[in-house]
Chains A and B, each alone.
Chain A
C-alpha cells in the first residue's frame, strides 16, 4: 500500500583494497521504521554515510531515489535540505554551549551578523517540548545526562525539518528506561508520518519498533524481513547476520602442550578517564595458560581494548582496581615500561595512531619498545639494530625494499608484521593482540595467524581481541565474550559457534 520514500539501488562503494558495499539495495517505506542490522564492519554505517552525502556522489556507484527523484548529494547539507538527517553514534554536541545553541549550530536563526537569540531559544523550547524534555534550552549541554543529550540530538534533527531520520545506534550509551523513552518517541514520530532508519545491535529493540528489518553482511544486503509477515525472532535475525561458513582460512596449529596458568586477572574494574564515575570495565576475571590462545569476542565498545590497555601498565582509565597475577606472582604495573619488564606486550588495534611512527623506517620502529636491547650505555648500536630488524623482516616475511624503508609506505599487512616484530623483540610471555588483522587482506591475515601459531609453539601465550567471529573461532583455544564492560560468557573450543557467541552478546545486551 504505502509507497517508498527512499530507494537505494545497486550501491557499491570501494575503499582502497576493500569492497565496503557490494551491490546493496534498500527500500524504505514512507512512514515506517526500518532497521538495519549486521555485524561490525558489515557496511551499515557506510551505507548511511553514502545516503547522507558524507561520501559524495561519484565516490560510489548506484542510484539513490528519494521522494521519486534521483539524488546526487555532494555534501551533507544537500541531504539535510531534503530532510534527510543523520544522528551519529557518537554524540556531536558541544558541551560548553547551551542546548539552544547546539540545536541551531550551522542553522542559526536571524541574520548572518546578528543571531536572533530570542527566536533561537523560543524555537528550541518548542522542539524540546515535542520530544518531552523539561529542561530549558538555555541549559549547558554538559549539565544534562547522556540520555537527554541523545534526545537533544533528535530535537536538533527536527529543527532541520527532518522527514527521514537516520539513527546510528541511538541507544548504545543509554540505560533501559532512557532507551524505552527514545524508542517510544520514534513510534510517536512514526504516527505523525516521519520515516526512520535505525541501526542497532539490540535485537529486542529492533523487534519492538521496526516495521522492516534489513540484514547486511559483508557489504551485501542479505534479506529484508517484514513485521507481521516473517519470523523476526532474535535467532532468525542472528542466522541472517552470521550465516557464513568458516572455510579453511586458518592454518593448522602444531601440537602445543597447554601448560599452567601464567596470567590471572581477578575483579578487574576500570573507570573512564574523564567521566570518572562511569565503569568501562566492570569486575572482570579471567585467566590465561601457557601456550594458549585466548580469544576475547564482543561488539565494538564492549570494553575489550580498555581492559587490555588498563592491564598493560594502566595505560588507560582511572580508578583501576583488581589484581593481576603474572607467572604466579601478584604484580602492580605502574606504567608501560613496568608491563614490558614483566613480560607483557600489547599490540594495539590502531597501528597508525598508537602503534607505529609512520615517518620512521622499519628499523627504528622495530626496536622502539626495547631500545635497551640494541644499545650499550644509552648509545644505540645502529648496526645491531639493523641486524635485529632485518632478522625479523626475514622471519615474518615482511615485504619491503629493506629495513630502511619508511613504514608509512608499506601495506597494512606488512605494517602489522612490523608492529608484531616490535613486540616480539621485547620477548614477552603474554602478548595481547588487539584486532591483529583489522584492515588487512586475506593473504596477510593467514600469515599473521601463522605467526600467532609460532608464538604459542614457543611457549608464549596470546590473548586475541577480535570483532571477527570466524577469526575468534578459528584461532582460539578458549573464548571469553565481553559486553558492556563485563565478561558475559566463556566457551571452550568445541562448544563455541558463531550463533552461540552472537546470542550470548545479544542476550546480555537485552538485559
Chain B
C-alpha cells in the first residue's frame, strides 16, 4: 500500500523531480553559474515565447494529440506586419492590436478547415507554415525591419530597460519584485486553504493536510526563489508580466470553465462528447483560433526582444512549443495535460538550453539532448498508460 502510494506520487511528480535534478546537475557542472540572477532573468526572457506558444499548443494537443505546425511562421508574419506598421508611424498600441487581430484571423482561417471541413490539422497547419513563412518574406521583401519605438520595447520585453521600475527605489535589490513575490505566495496560500476549508465545511473529501502543505511549501519556495533572484538583477522583466498573464488566464480557462472541460472531453472521447450534446467542431475551432491569437502575442514579444523583424524569425518555434507540451505531461493521444505541467516542461527545456550553453556545449549537441528528453518523456507517457490499462 505505502509502496503503491510512493509509486503513484513519483509518477505524478516525475517531471518536477527531473527538473530539480537537472537544476542541481547544472548547478554542479557550472559551479552555480546557472543560478546567478542574470541567468535566471535570461531564462525567462529568452523563453517567453515558448511559454506562450506552449500554452496555446496545449489546447490543440488536448483535443486529441493534434499539433499546430504553423505557429513559427505566424509569429514571423505577425511580427513582420507589426514592425512595418510601426515603421510607417502607427501608434504602438494600434499596431499591437492589428497584430493580434491578424493572428486571430489566421487562426480562424486554419481552424475553419480543421473543424468544419475536417482537413487533418497536420496538413492544414503544414500548409499554413509554408504560406505564412512565404508571406513574411514577401511583406519584408527579404529584408530586416528594425523596431525603434522605445516604449514598445520596454513594455514587451526588449532592450536593456525592459524591466518594471522599482517604485520603492531599492538599492541593489528590487523591492517591488520581492514584494510581488510575497503577494503571489500569499494569494496562492489563501486560495488553496480557502477552497480546502470550504470543501471541508460541506463535508467533502479533501486531500490530506500534509500533501497540501508539502505542495504549498514547494510552490512558495519556487516563487520566492525566482522573485529574489530577479530582484538581485534588474527586477521583473516586462515579458514575464505577459507570460504570467497568459499562464493565469489559460490555467483558469482549462481547469475551471466549461470550455476547458469540453477541450479535455473531446480529447478523452470525442464520440461520447458529441453524444453528450457538446459541439465538438466548435471546440476544435476555438482551440486553433486561439493558437493563432497566442502566436501573434508571441510575435509581439519576439520583435520587441529582437528590436526588429526578419523573415527567419520564429523558425522551429512550433517544435519548442510541442516539445514543452509533451515533456510537461500532455498526452500524445489527447485529453491529458495541464498548463502548470506545460510550464514545467518549458522550464525544463529552457534549463537544458541554458545549462548546456553555459557549459559551452555545441548547439548541435544540445539538439540531440533535447530530442532525447522529448522521446523519453513520450515513451514514459505511453508506458505508464499501458500499465494503467492492465
Whether B258 contacts A353 by the Cβ 8 Å rule is no
* A2–B265 alpha-carbon span in the complex (Å): 60
Whether A336 contacts B259 by the Cβ 8 Å rule is no
**A28-36, A195-203, A355-363: which one contacts chain B?**
A355-363
A348 / chain B contacts, CB cutoff of 8 Å: 272, 275
* A339–B336 alpha-carbon span in the complex (Å): 29
* A371–B256 alpha-carbon span in the complex (Å): 12
| A346 within 8 A of partner (CB) | yes
Main secondary structure of the interface of B (DSSP, over half): helix
Closest CB of chain A to B312's CB: distance in Å? 40
| A144 within 8 A of partner (CB) | no
Whether B274 contacts A368 by the Cβ 8 Å rule is no
| A375 within 8 A of partner (CB) | yes
* A171–B360 alpha-carbon span in the complex (Å): 72
Contact A354/B258 with A336-B277, A383-B199 known, Cβ cut-off 8 Å:
no
Whether A336 contacts B198 by the Cβ 8 Å rule is no
Whether B268 contacts A360 by the Cβ 8 Å rule is yes
Which residue in chain A gives the minimum CB-CB distance to B334? A359
Identify which of B271, B335, B336 contacts A353 (C-beta below 8 A): B271
Closest CB of chain A to B268's CB: distance in Å? 4
A358 / chain B contacts, CB cutoff of 8 Å: 268-269
Closest CB of chain A to B254's CB: distance in Å? 11
Whether B275 contacts A371 by the Cβ 8 Å rule is no
| A331 within 8 A of partner (CB) | no
Whether B265 contacts A368 by the Cβ 8 Å rule is yes
Contact A356/B272 with A371-B258, A387-B202 known, Cβ cut-off 8 Å:
yes
Closest CB of chain A to B99's CB: distance in Å? 27
| B264 within 8 A of partner (CB) | yes
Whether B268 contacts A380 by the Cβ 8 Å rule is no
Closest CB of chain B to A355's CB: distance in Å? 5
* A357–B262 alpha-carbon span in the complex (Å): 12
| A408 within 8 A of partner (CB) | yes
Q: Mark A279-313, 1 if CB is under 8 A from B, else 0.
A: 00000000000000000000000000000000011
| A441 within 8 A of partner (CB) | no
Closest CB of chain A to B225's CB: distance in Å? 30
B389 / chain A contacts, CB cutoff of 8 Å: 408
Contact A404/B205 with A357-B272, A368-B273 known, Cβ cut-off 8 Å:
yes
Which residue in chain A gives the minimum CB-CB distance to B388? A408
Which residue in chain A gives the minimum CB-CB distance to B205? A402
Whether A380 contacts B256 by the Cβ 8 Å rule is yes
Whether A379 contacts B269 by the Cβ 8 Å rule is no
Closest CB of chain A to B201's CB: distance in Å? 10
Contact A383/B257 with A315-B274, A335-B277 known, Cβ cut-off 8 Å:
no
* A379–B259 alpha-carbon span in the complex (Å): 9
Whether A346 contacts B275 by the Cβ 8 Å rule is yes
Contact-residue size bin, chain A (C-beta under 8 Å from the other chain): 35 or more
* A390–B268 alpha-carbon span in the complex (Å): 22
A154 / chain B contacts, CB cutoff of 8 Å: none
Whether A369 contacts B277 by the Cβ 8 Å rule is yes
Whether B275 contacts A379 by the Cβ 8 Å rule is no
* A390–B199 alpha-carbon span in the complex (Å): 13
A142 / chain B contacts, CB cutoff of 8 Å: none
Contact A315/B258 with A357-B269, A402-B205 known, Cβ cut-off 8 Å:
no
| B93 within 8 A of partner (CB) | no
CB-contacts of B324-380 with A (<8 A):
335-336
Whether A337 contacts B279 by the Cβ 8 Å rule is yes
Closest CB of chain B to A356's CB: distance in Å? 6
* A408–B388 alpha-carbon span in the complex (Å): 9
CB-contacts of A298-344 with B (<8 A):
312-313, 315, 335-337, 339-341
Whether B202 contacts A380 by the Cβ 8 Å rule is no
Whether A383 contacts B198 by the Cβ 8 Å rule is yes
Whether B276 contacts A422 by the Cβ 8 Å rule is yes
Whether A380 contacts B257 by the Cβ 8 Å rule is yes
Q: Mark B248-264, 1 if CB is under 8 A from A, else 0.
A: 00000000111111101
| A386 within 8 A of partner (CB) | yes
| B9 within 8 A of partner (CB) | no
Contact A383/B279 with A368-B273, A375-B258 known, Cβ cut-off 8 Å:
no
* A339–B256 alpha-carbon span in the complex (Å): 26
| A372 within 8 A of partner (CB) | yes
| A114 within 8 A of partner (CB) | no
Closest CB of chain A to B251's CB: distance in Å? 13
* A336–B336 alpha-carbon span in the complex (Å): 25
Identify which of A360, A368, A390, A408 contacts B276 (C-beta below 8 A): A368
* A379–B255 alpha-carbon span in the complex (Å): 9
Contact A340/B277 with A356-B272, A368-B265 known, Cβ cut-off 8 Å:
yes
Whether B278 contacts A337 by the Cβ 8 Å rule is yes
A368 / chain B contacts, CB cutoff of 8 Å: 261, 265, 272-273, 276, 278
Some 27 contacts from A to B, beta carbons below 8 A apart, are: A337-B278, A340-B276, A340-B277, A346-B275, A348-B272, A356-B272, A357-B264, A357-B268, A357-B269, A358-B268, A359-B336, A360-B268, A360-B335, A368-B261, A368-B265, A371-B258, A375-B257, A378-B257, A379-B257, A380-B257, A380-B261, A386-B204, A387-B204, A402-B205, A404-B205, A408-B389, A426-B277
The 7 A-B pairs with the shortest beta carbon distances in the complex, nearest first, are: A357-B268, A337-B277, A369-B276, A336-B277, A340-B277, A357-B269, A354-B271
**Contacts A353-B272, A357-B268, A360-B268 given; 17 further ones with Cβ under 8 A?**
A313-B277, A337-B278, A348-B275, A356-B269, A356-B272, A357-B265, A358-B269, A359-B336, A364-B264, A368-B265, A369-B276, A369-B277, A371-B262, A375-B258, A378-B259, A382-B256, A383-B204
B residues bordering A, Cβ < 8 Å? Answer: 198-199, 202, 204-205, 256-262, 264-265, 268-269, 271-279, 335-336, 388-389
